[in-house]
Amino acid sequence: MRVLGVDPGLTRCGVGVVEGVAGRPLTMLGVGVVRTPADAELGHRLVAIEQGIEQWLDEHRPEYVAVERVFSQHNVRTVMGTAQASAVAMLCAARRGIPVALHTPSEVKAAVTGSGRADKAQVGAMVTRLLRLSAPPKPADAADALALAICHIWRAPAQNRLQQAVALHTAKAPKGRTA
Amino acid sequence: MRVLGVDPGLTRCGVGVVEGVAGRPLTMLGVGVVRTPADAELGHRLVAIEQGIEQWLDEHRPEYVAVERVFSQHNVRTVMGTAQASAVAMLCAARRGIPVALHTPSEVKAAVTGSGRADKAQVGAMVTRLLRLSAPPKPADAADALALAICHIWRAPAQNRLQQAVALHTAKAPKGRTA
């Protein structure tokens, strides 16, 4: 399973590609940051993010894209930009028919560190260890993107089982007639 | 001046095209709503909005796109979707090199009704009168999109004068050497 993780942001959009399956050592295929100038017009920044994400999709052909789920209770000034950058990442993936998964920051932290309240340093340290890197990826947005991809690989089996169970239950439930 | 107004939303994205200049009667060239199903995946909804906006840009070739500026103090549940839909509209315009203008809801209300705290009915009534329509456009999102376009046409001269003054001042200011 090859996953592109995206930590959305207008100024720095973290991107990281991880390959592997749950229960086996994981491999990092690439990590980086798509940057846009803070003084550029918003429309132009979104176009630059689109071009950056498209390059990562072209180069790595991920089977899944995992994007951080944005909450509006965060910093009011930055949350709108984060939501807009995440929309561009989801749009790029969905346009290619690549499934998009959203994971909350605490799901990601819990997946890689065991605690939903871990700090940036802890996440960086675990990403470094799990991907057998020589140093934590910088900036933190890049490490967070890798953590998102790892989280998706590890959570996917459970999510799939859950979806299958729901589908089975829905199919069995006597919910009106079917042709 | 031909302006596409966009009242962003995931479920209903209002769109309206108005042509005219400040101080002259305005003409409505089109109005409608881009809808996406609430039960569809977010990525697919964003792709549907992109396709809808592209159709409106193709058909009407506006010189400007005016989008409602989204604030995060609104309803927490809907604001993220609104921000994401607005990102797609801005992206579509900027990709074509069409300038994007953001106007706040109170700027729009003040422009068409004289009061920044006017209600939906008042905005709908004024849009109907200003564009000489036989009835207020439905749903309200469609009327709001037209109000955005009208607001942009009426505010643009003042904004242009301001930008020219800033540009002139910047050019005159002794800010380092130029080749």
A94 touches chain B (CB under 8 A): yes
Residue A147 has pLDDT above 50, yes or no: yes
Cα separations in angstroms, B116 against A65, B107, B121 = 42, 6, 13
The whole-number pLDDT of residue A37 equals: 96
**pLDDT-based confidence at A168, cuts 50/70/90?**
low
The whole-number pLDDT of residue A179 equals: 37
Residue B43 has pLDDT above 90, yes or no: yes
**pLDDT-based confidence at B114, cuts 50/70/90?**
very high
Cα–Cα distance between A161 and A85 in angstroms, integer? 30
A96 touches chain B (CB under 8 A): no
The whole-number pLDDT of residue A158 equals: 67
| Residue to substitute from B4, B39, B72, B77, interface A, most A β-carbons within 10 A | B72
Give just the sign of the alpha carbon dihedral B63, B34, B115, B19.
Answer: positive
- Whether residue B26 contacts residue B131, with contact meaning beta carbons closer than 8 Å, is answered with yes
**Beta-bridge mates of residue A18:** A3, A28
Domains of chain B: 2-172 (3.30.420.10)
Rg (C-alpha) for chain B, rounded Å, is 17
The H or E element spanning position A28 is strand A27-35
Cα–Cα distance between B63 and B21 in angstroms, integer? 13
- The dihedral region occupied by B31, where left means phi > 0, alpha psi between -120 and 50, and beta the remainder, is beta
**B87:A46 CB<8 A:** yes
A46 touches chain B (CB under 8 A): yes
**pLDDT-based confidence at A174, cuts 50/70/90?**
very low
The residue among A178 and A12 whose pLDDT is bigger is A12
Q: Which residues of A are catalytic?
A: 7, 68, 141
What is the per-residue pLDDT across A5-41, written as a single tens digit (0 to 9) for each?
A: 999 999 999 999 999 998 899 999 999 999 999 999 9
Question: Per the annotation, does B141 bind a ligand?
Answer: yes
**pLDDT-based confidence at B133, cuts 50/70/90?**
very high
Cα–Cα distance between B129 and B167 in angstroms, integer? 37
Which residues 120-149 in chain B show a CB within 8 A of chain A? none
Question: Per the annotation, does A63 bind a ligand?
Answer: no
- B70 secondary structure, DSSP code: P
The whole-number pLDDT of residue A166 equals: 67
Among the listed residues B75, B56, B22, the one whose alpha carbon sits nearest the alpha carbon of residue B145: B56
CB atoms within 10 A of CB A55: 13
Q: Which residue of A71, A84, A90 is in closest CB contact with B43?
A: A90
